[in-house]
Amino acid sequence: MRPFAYDRPTTIADAVASGAQPETAFLGGGTNLLDLMKGNISRPARLVDVTRLPGLSTIEWLQDGGVRIGALVRNSDLAHDPRFANRFPSVAEALLSGASAQLRNAATAAGNVLQRTRCQYFYDAASVCNKRDPGTGCGAIGGLTRLHAVLGWSEHCIATHPSDFCVPLVALDAVVEIEGRAGRRDVPLEALHRLPGNTPERETVLEPGDVITAIRLPAEAAAYAGNARYLKVRERTSYAFAVVSAGAALRLDQGTIVSARLALGGVALKPWRARAAEDLLAGALPGATVFRDAAALALAEARPCGDNGFKIELARRIIVRALTLAAAGTPDRVPALPASPFALAPTQEVSAHV
Amino acid sequence: MSDITMPNVAAIERSRHGSSIGQPVTRREGHLKVTGQAGYAADYNPPGLLHAVMAVSGISRGRVTHLDVAAAEAHPGVVKVMTPANAPKLAKSPDDKDHGFMFRMNVLQNDSVRFANQPIAVVIAETLEAATEGVALLRPRYAEEPARIGLDGSAAFALQAVGAGAPAKGGIGDIEAGLAEAATRFEATYETPAQYHNPLEPHATVAEWDGDKLVLHTPSQGLTMAQGRIAGLFGIDPANILIKSPFLGGGFGAKGLFSGPQVLGIMAARFVGRPVKLVLRREQMFGPVGHRGETRQTLRLGADSTGGLTALEHNTLTTTSFYDDFFEPAGTTSRHLYASPAIATSHEGVRADIGTPIFMRAPGEAPGSAALECAIDELAVKAGMDPLDFRLRNYAEIEPITGKPFSSKALRQCYAQGAARFGWASRPRAPRQMRDDDGLLVGWGVGTATFPAMIFPSEARAVLRVDGSARVEIGAQDMGQGAWTSLAQIAADGLGVDYDKLDLEIGSSALPTGGIAGGSAGTATAGSAIHHAAADVIKKLAALATSDERSPLFGAGNSGVVPRDGRLVRQDDESRGESYASILARAGLAEIDGKGSAGPNPSMQESYAMHSHGAVFAEVKVDPDFGQIRVTRLVGAFAAGRIINPRMVRSQYYGGMIWGVGFALHEHAAADPRSGRLMNANLAEYHVPVNADVPLIEAILVEEHDPHVNVLGLKGVGEIGITGTVGAIANAVWHATGVRARAFPITLDTLLERPGDI
Ligand SMILES: Cc1cc2nc3c(=O)[nH]c(=O)nc-3n(C[C@H](O)[C@H](O)[C@H](O)COP(=O)(O)OP(=O)(O)OC[C@H]3O[C@@H](n4cnc5c(N)ncnc54)[C@H](O)[C@@H]3O)c2cc1C
Ligand code: SF4
């Protein structure tokens, strides 16, 4: 590893100042960053360890019914917080479907949101990569692209954002609280990650020194608690990133959808909010036809970037199933295999595509 | 307090059997392992130790034209950089092959690059971190040539031998005639990917030179072979090399033959004149230490109107490197398993810019039985028969090609017991008939398991002491399978002493040669030598007693006495005997020792075909919309002769079956089609099953008595669990979905591609 300086600030102001120096990275749980450093993919000259910053490790319930998740709250603590899991069950289910128990114990909320892509070419120092080394080309295009993006990609980068946590969060209008050199600001999670365009190396709207201090979910998000699911298709039963995932949440009134929230994971370089599909669902009666129409709309602009065309149809089916499960109601407790197709409550509408 | 004393059940069990063999004793070294006291090679830190890290090639083919050695050596802590320009020359070219079991290595003797991840330099530093950064600073430049990758990357060629030297072709009868007369014919091609062993413990060396003497801590599945290989390369006497390998964190064949990176660790220590530790990084396990080559297997089969096979043809195309020969012997399974008047098996090779493949757990049988068991299933369905009935219909009573009888074969019982336990009888014949409560598709499949029973040459020494304790020494290796325990059980019984009084020493090249812990033959190999060494001790002891008129055994004759619980007793009257202690004490001896050896028995091999067998039943569930597959139940019934320790054996079967799950659904090395680099060379992306992938697994130990296979009557259990399982799962996936996936691993997109589906 490249030798690096190590700062452990105890105030946010110091963290911002320290973090604004060149070639600097914030260190959360380190489960992503340290792997990248050991693989020589990230070579920071300075690590600013944020885990000792005061006041960022709590789940705070706001007056208006919303919640403020401190940036340092560990993934497992958040998922297992009974009140949180009760209000935001799809977020808890998404968290528990990610990584392994050990990793979730170490991973922080902010670190999860800011985890880097799992594009195999990004991780391979011997391959070119526009994100890692701007201007060198995209190693993935023309190579192994089975798991790459089908939405929002560019000819400069076809990677996906791998976080499960972000998918229901973005569906539920989460807001990211940031402290930076210019003070405090809020950024909707949907606007945090950038699509690659021709600057794939610029992954988020964060500026040097910007520390994520919290992630907020608004009170309205809790109104979906009774009908919210996360569903994740993967290549083994657990401990694998999503091939495609979906977070679906419905607000029902006397059997009619008042409003819907829908987002996809594993399809783009950001958690992908499907607003047009949400609009279509609002006011409809839940059912296979409208779910299929919503799925079609969500994927209307999708295109394969190589040998990953199957992900488009897969995403449609996952949307239909996630909406079906959400309509059936959130189970009392997170299933033993969270978000897995093998942990379904009995479903009515399992079709026969395979 | 109650005055009832509970009986010591374990002791009673043991005395009833009069034996340690057969007892499910727990691992002797278990406590050491769970408390972190079992020292693996990389745990050893002699004074003055330096750390070495390999730099590996980013290209698959070409030459290294530049390394920034100055930058690396300028980095604080870096001691030296070893490159082809300055690496110690070896006494023997690593490209020389004295025999087919010697494989070429890439150990910095020139600047050529023959595969991605090939070592191109070694940085030696005071710390691991400094060495790692030194490697990053080398920034290699290359003259790159286009990589030739995969089964279609270059021209196929004919082979003489495959695997460990089996003939590339083998068969009997006339295939075309068999096919012509068949009522049902079936042909299909199956593909299996490159797989990498990835034991949890990567290859590691801690090398210490003292003049031309070498002490080496490194994991090895074959200490004597390793010693010989090192001696040749460094031009020293094998007796000057001490290898310590008491614990291995898995081997699976990757640690069977001494590898290039291990040689580099020794070279590095010589290069800097200090002890050096070299541990492979996980991604470096993908290339220089072997793998299972890709295969493409085409099978043509015919069956008559009663379901009897009329022809079985199994042709394999498999990859090797451009610089050496190792060919996955996938077709050999078809030579032993089913009766057919016509059998033809053949292998062809293809060269690619990859590291040379090598033995990997169930080499040949794993991919070969995967294809064979799928093809048999497909033919059974086409012939309108239940797949299990079809297999029974084609049961081989004698080994089909050689005509030899089996030394033992309880496969029928395996089928019967496995099927009963699984509930096979209620299986609907047609696919897509079963759903669970959640609407998931359910399918059941079966596969036959088979693995040859082998044995390698080995020697052991046994000692009985006057205090009633005993000691057995053999340079055998415990890869984690439980050799520390099961070999002690064999030794205790052979010497007639209590298991707890038996002291076993294994895992060092200073001990008598323990042969190879490979080919599922480790227990047969080391166990047989131990058995003979113990018998030798008992014979000497008996001679002392029976010729001494002060002994109650006087005149009983050497063969008239047997060992029992620390005593020799008359065979015709077990109440008359004498303790070892008293025999030795009277003779004025503190201890008495004996030697034994074992190895293949040519006359038995001439007379009998020797294999373990089994039957594996799998249940899978498939999501009908997503194609995601989960194995929900596995039942394996195996017959492998005498069972030394049912606990260890069961865990070998579980491990094999779980490996089969990985083979069927997960494992594959994903090579970039342009560069040939493996893009998933880490354990986050190179998937093997996790707990949630194996919810319910059972292994049935089917009784089998084998008087011929070896002196202990035991066959191997380490690899057979993989065979049968892969086919059973693939067949279950078909039964669930109606889709025949013929490329492994079976991934969800294969099932999504059902015609007319989307
Ligand atoms: C084997 C494996 C499997 C995995 N599987 C999954 C999976 O299935 N699903 C899934 O969603 N994830 C998965 N993960 C990823 C895991 O969720 C992330 O590694 C983890 O959430 C990162 O959190 P961390 O606190 O360790 O972040 P770190 O590694 O510490 O940091 C990650 C990034 O965030 C930045 N950062 C951290 N905190 C802050 C802050 N407060 N302000 C500003 N920047 C900050 C860091 O500079 C760094 O760039 C897996 C990881 C591994 C290693
Ligand atoms: S897809 Fe993006 S991250 Fe992957 S190699 Fe291309 S530029 Fe790099």
Ligand 1 atom at minimal distance to the Cα of residue A232: 8
Check whether residue B109 and residue B245 sit in a common domain.
yes
Percent of chain B residues past pLDDT 70, beyond the cut: 97
Query: Is some CB atom of chain A closer than 8 A to the CB atom of B120?
Result: no
B718 domain-assigned: yes
Q: How confident is the model at residue B2 (pLDDT cuts 50, 70, 90)?
A: very low
Last-in-domain residue among B246, B267, B285: B285
Query: Measured between CA atoms, how close is B677 to chain A, in angstroms?
Result: 9
Based on the structure, what is the number of domains in chain A? 1
A313 domain-assigned: yes
- Specify the amino acid at residue B540: K
Q: B692–A337: do the CB atoms touch at under 8 Å?
A: yes
A234 is in which domain, residue-wise?
Answer: 224-348
Task: Give yes or no for residue B448 having a pLDDT over 70.
Answer: yes
B505 is in which domain, residue-wise?
Answer: 16-38+456-599
Going from the C-alpha of B334 to that of each of B119, B174, B364, B374, B735, the distances in angstroms are: 38, 15, 10, 12, 24
B712 domain-assigned: yes
Cβ(A305) – ligand 2 distance below 6 Å: no
Q: pLDDT by residue (tens digit) across B483-504?
A: 999 999 999 999 999 999 999 9
DSSP 8-state secondary structure symbol assigned to residue A115: P
Q: Report the pLDDT value the prediction gives residue B195, as an integer from 0 to 100.
A: 98
B361 domain-assigned: no
Q: B752–A351: do the CB atoms touch at under 8 Å?
A: no
For range B447-462, the mean pLDDT: 98
In DSSP terms, which residues pair with B172 in a beta bridge?
B343
Give the whole-angstrom CA distance, residue B462 versus residue B537.
7
Between helix B365-382 and helix B725-737 the angle, nearest 10°, is 40
Give the whole-angstrom CA distance, residue A106 versus residue A73.
10
> Where does residue B507 fall: left (phi above 0), alpha (psi -120 to 50 degrees), or beta otherwise?
left
B384 domain-assigned: no
Sign of the four-CA dihedral B375, B380, B381, B387: negative
Q: Which residue of B has its CA nearest to A314?
A: B626
The radius of gyration of chain A's CA atoms, rounded to the nearest angstrom, is 20
B323 domain-assigned: no
Q: How confident is the model at residue B535 (pLDDT cuts 50, 70, 90)?
A: very high
Give the whole-angstrom CA distance, residue B154 versus residue B350.
6
**B233, B90 contact by CB (below 8 A):** yes
Cβ(A162) – ligand 1 distance below 6 Å: yes
A63 domain-assigned: no
Structure tokens, B425 = 């009888």
Residue of A3, A235, A347 with shortest CB distance to B439: A347
- Specify the amino acid at residue A61: W
| Ligand minimally distant from the alpha carbon of residue A157 | 2
Give the whole-angstrom CA distance, residue A2 versus residue A42.
9
Check whether residue B461 and residue B449 sit in a common domain.
no
Q: Report the pLDDT value the prediction gives residue A353, as an integer from 0 to 100.
A: 60
Check whether residue B135 and residue B260 sit in a common domain.
yes
Query: Which residues in chain A have their CB less than 8 angstroms from residue B634's CB?
Result: none
Based on the structure, what is the number of domains in chain B? 3
**A163, A265 contact by CB (below 8 A):** yes
Q: A354–B665: do the CB atoms touch at under 8 Å?
A: no
Going from the C-alpha of B529 to that of each of B455, B469, B482, B597, B643, the distances in angstroms are: 11, 20, 17, 4, 17
Q: pLDDT by residue (tens digit) across B121-165?
A: 999 999 999 999 999 999 999 999 999 999 999 999 999 999 999
Q: pLDDT by residue (tens digit) across A76-90?
A: 999 999 999 999 999
Query: Measured between CA atoms, how close is A41 to chain B, in angstroms?
Result: 10
What interface predicted TM-score (ipTM) does this complex get? 0.96
Cβ(A31) – ligand 1 distance below 6 Å: yes
Cβ(A271) – ligand 1 distance below 6 Å: no
Number of neighbouring beta carbons within 10 Å of residue A219: 13
Q: How confident is the model at residue B755 (pLDDT cuts 50, 70, 90)?
A: very low
Ligand 1 atom at minimal distance to the Cα of residue A178: 42
Ligand 1 center–CA A34 separation, angstroms? 10
Cβ(A122) – ligand 2 distance below 6 Å: yes
**B587, B528 contact by CB (below 8 A):** no
Number of neighbouring beta carbons within 10 Å of residue B538: 23
Ligand 1 center–CA A93 separation, angstroms? 17
The domain that contains A239 carries what CATH number?
3.30.390.50
Q: B670–A240: do the CB atoms touch at under 8 Å?
A: no
Cβ(A162) – ligand 2 distance below 6 Å: no
What are the phi and psi torsion angles at B208 (to 5°)?
-130, 120
Check whether residue B507 and residue B608 sit in a common domain.
no
How high does pLDDT run on average in chain B?
95
A76 domain-assigned: no
B590 domain-assigned: yes
> Where does residue B165 fall: left (phi above 0), alpha (psi -120 to 50 degrees), or beta otherwise?
left
Q: How confident is the model at residue B756 (pLDDT cuts 50, 70, 90)?
A: very low
**B621, B629 contact by CB (below 8 A):** yes
Residue whose Cα lies nearest atom 2 of ligand 2: it is: A157
Strands A46-49 and A175-180: unpaired
Q: Report the pLDDT value the prediction gives residue A1, as an integer from 0 to 100.
A: 79
In DSSP terms, which residues pair with B206 in a beta bridge?
B217, B277
Give the whole-angstrom CA distance, residue B300 versus residue B376.
10
The verdict on whether B191 is a catalytic residue reads no
Q: Report the pLDDT value the prediction gives residue A348, as an integer from 0 to 100.
A: 42
**B86, B61 contact by CB (below 8 A):** no
Last-in-domain residue among B599, B619, B637: B599
Q: Is the peptide bond before B673 cis (omega within 30 degrees of 0)?
A: no
Q: Report the pLDDT value the prediction gives residue B19, as an integer from 0 to 100.
A: 85
What order do you get walking across the sheet with B567-570 strand by strand? B561-564, B567-570, B573-579
Ligand 2 atom at minimal distance to the Cα of residue A149: 1
- Specify the amino acid at residue B265: G
CA-closest candidate to residue B360, choices B193, B156, B570, B527: B193
Q: B129–A238: do the CB atoms touch at under 8 Å?
A: no
A269 domain-assigned: yes
Check whether residue B509 and residue B430 sit in a common domain.
no
Q: A341–B691: do the CB atoms touch at under 8 Å?
A: no
Number of neighbouring beta carbons within 10 Å of residue B47: 7
Strands A67-70 and A59-61: antiparallel
Task: Give yes or no for residue B558 having a pLDDT over 80.
Answer: no
Task: Give yes or no for residue B18 having a pLDDT over 90.
Answer: no
Helical spans, DSSP H, in A257-309: 275-281, 288-298
Ligand 2 atom at minimal distance to the Cα of residue A196: 2
Q: A350–B753: do the CB atoms touch at under 8 Å?
A: no
Task: Give yes or no for residue B3 having a pLDDT over 90.
Answer: no
Q: A341–B665: do the CB atoms touch at under 8 Å?
A: no
Task: Give yes or no for residue B282 having a pLDDT over 60.
Answer: yes
Query: Which residues in chain B have their CB less than 8 angstroms from residue A342's CB?
Result: 440, 621, 623, 628, 630
Q: How confident is the model at residue B17 (pLDDT cuts 50, 70, 90)?
A: low
- Specify the amino acid at residue B81: V
A211 domain-assigned: no
Q: Report the pLDDT value the prediction gives residue B100, as an integer from 0 to 100.
A: 87
Active-site position among B574, B606, B719, B753: B719
Query: Which residues in chain A have their CB less than 8 angstroms from residue B120's CB?
Result: none
Check whether residue B604 and residue B593 sit in a common domain.
no
Q: Using 50 as the pLDDT threshold, list the residues of chain A that sit under it.
A: 346-349
CA-closest candidate to residue B507, choices B49, B28, B164: B28
DSSP H or E stretch at residue A323: helix A310-328
A317 domain-assigned: yes
Ligand 1 pocket, mutate which of A8, A18, A21, A26 (most atoms under 8 A from CB): A26
A320 domain-assigned: yes
**B592, B540 contact by CB (below 8 A):** yes
Ligand 1 center–CA A96 separation, angstroms? 14
Cβ(A71) – ligand 1 distance below 6 Å: yes
| Ligand minimally distant from the alpha carbon of residue A155 | 2
Give the whole-angstrom CA distance, residue A281 versus residue A286.
8
Ligand 1 center–CA A103 separation, angstroms? 9
For residue B120, the SS3 value is: strand
Ligand 2 pocket, mutate which of A129, A141, A202 (most atoms under 8 A from CB): A129
Query: Measured between CA atoms, how close is A296 to chain B, in angstroms?
Result: 13
Ligand 1 center–CA A108 separation, angstroms? 7
Task: Give yes or no for residue B15 having a pLDDT over 60.
Answer: no
Last-in-domain residue among B260, B285, B310: B285
Cβ(A168) – ligand 2 distance below 6 Å: no
For residue B258, the SS3 value is: coil
| Ligand minimally distant from the alpha carbon of residue A73 | 1
What order do you get walking across the sheet with B141-144 strand by strand? B112-113, B62-66, B141-144
Give the whole-angstrom CA distance, residue B276 versus residue B480.
26
Q: Report the pLDDT value the prediction gives residue A343, as an integer from 0 to 100.
A: 83
B698 domain-assigned: yes
Give the whole-angstrom CA distance, residue A238 versus residue A102.
13
Q: pLDDT by residue (tens digit) across B602-634?
A: 999 999 999 999 999 999 999 999 999 999 999
The domain that contains B517 carries what CATH number?
3.30.365.10
Q: A235–B674: do the CB atoms touch at under 8 Å?
A: no
Q: Which residue of A has its CA nearest to B694?
A: A237
Q: Which residue of A has its CA nearest to B695?
A: A237
Check whether residue B132 and residue B20 sit in a common domain.
no
Cβ(A139) – ligand 2 distance below 6 Å: yes
Cβ(A129) – ligand 2 distance below 6 Å: yes
Ligand 2 atom at minimal distance to the Cα of residue A141: 6
A231 domain-assigned: yes
For range B709-730, the mean pLDDT: 97
What are the phi and psi torsion angles at B370 (to 5°)?
-60, -50
Give the whole-angstrom CA distance, residue A108 versus residue B352.
44
Going from the C-alpha of B548 to that of each of B534, B544, B564, B586, the distances in angstroms are: 21, 6, 20, 9
**A302, A151 contact by CB (below 8 A):** yes
Ligand 2 atom at minimal distance to the Cα of residue A132: 8
Check whether residue B251 and residue B125 sit in a common domain.
yes
**B253, B361 contact by CB (below 8 A):** yes
